[in-house]
């Protein structure tokens, strides 16, 4: 799960302990949160627009299928006039801080690692802010962060 590092990063989550991952306005990203995430799942916190960008920490999904409250906030950045309380359009999840990676795993290292071949985040044109990571890739990134 990506977020711009200057906007909200792993240290903010460490301080807050948990947060609602709202404001996602892409259908594919929404579908991953709505349909594929389960309570107890682990997720990476990825810093985008960082120097370098990459995986900073681990979080746990503690609540799923939350109706994104920001779609109803008229003056907010994420307001969606087509969403109604009866038929909401955007859903999100609640995440809990698990840990900072001992060592940050940058996108260049991810791209160089042959064991991470096919990982979505390293593919050209993949801009999704929420995307799946296979168990093997997840373990490999954890391994990279602890050496």
Partner DNA sequence: GCCAACGTTGGC
The residue within the footprint of DNA, chosen from 42, 66, 128, 142 (CB under 7 A), is 128
Neighbours of 15 (CB within 10 A): 9
User: To the nearest whole angstrom, how small is the minimum distance from the Cβ of residue 118 to DNA?
Assistant: 14
Stretch that binds DNA, among 36-44, 97-105, 120-128, 133-141 (CB under 7 A): 120-128
> Quick one: 4 or 39, whose CB is closer to DNA?
4
Closest CA to 24 of 58, 57, 1: 1
- Assess whether the previous peptide bond of 136 is cis (omega < 30° from 0): no
- Restricting to residues 48-107, name those near DNA by CB under 7 A: 48-50, 52-53, 107
Contact 55, 105 (CB under 8 A): yes
The residue within the footprint of DNA, chosen from 15, 86, 125, 135 (CB under 7 A), is 125
Q: By three-state DSSP, how is residue 37 classified?
A: coil
Tokens 């859903």 identify what position? 91
What are the residues binding DNA (CB under 7 A)? 2, 4, 25-28, 48-50, 52-53, 107-108, 111, 121, 124-129
């Amino acid at each position: 799960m990506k977020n711009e590092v200057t906007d909200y990063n792993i240290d903010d989550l460490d301080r807050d302990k948990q947060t609602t991952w709202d404001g996602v306005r892409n259908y594919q990203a929404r579908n991953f949160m709505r349909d594929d995430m389960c309570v107890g799942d682990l997720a990476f916190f990825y810093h985008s627009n960082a120097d370098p960008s990459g995986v900073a920490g681990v979080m746990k999904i503690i609540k799923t299928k939350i109706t994104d409250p920001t779609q109803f906030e008229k003056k907010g950045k994420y307001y969606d006039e087509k969403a109604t309380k009866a038929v909401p359009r955007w859903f999100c999840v609640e995440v809990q801080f698990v840990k900072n990676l001992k060592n940050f795993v940058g996108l260049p290292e991810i791209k160089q690692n042959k064991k991470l071949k096919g990982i979505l985040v390293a593919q050209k044109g993949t801009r999704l802010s929420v995307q799946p990571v296979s168990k093997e890739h997840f373990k490999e990134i954890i391994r990279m962060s602890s050496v």
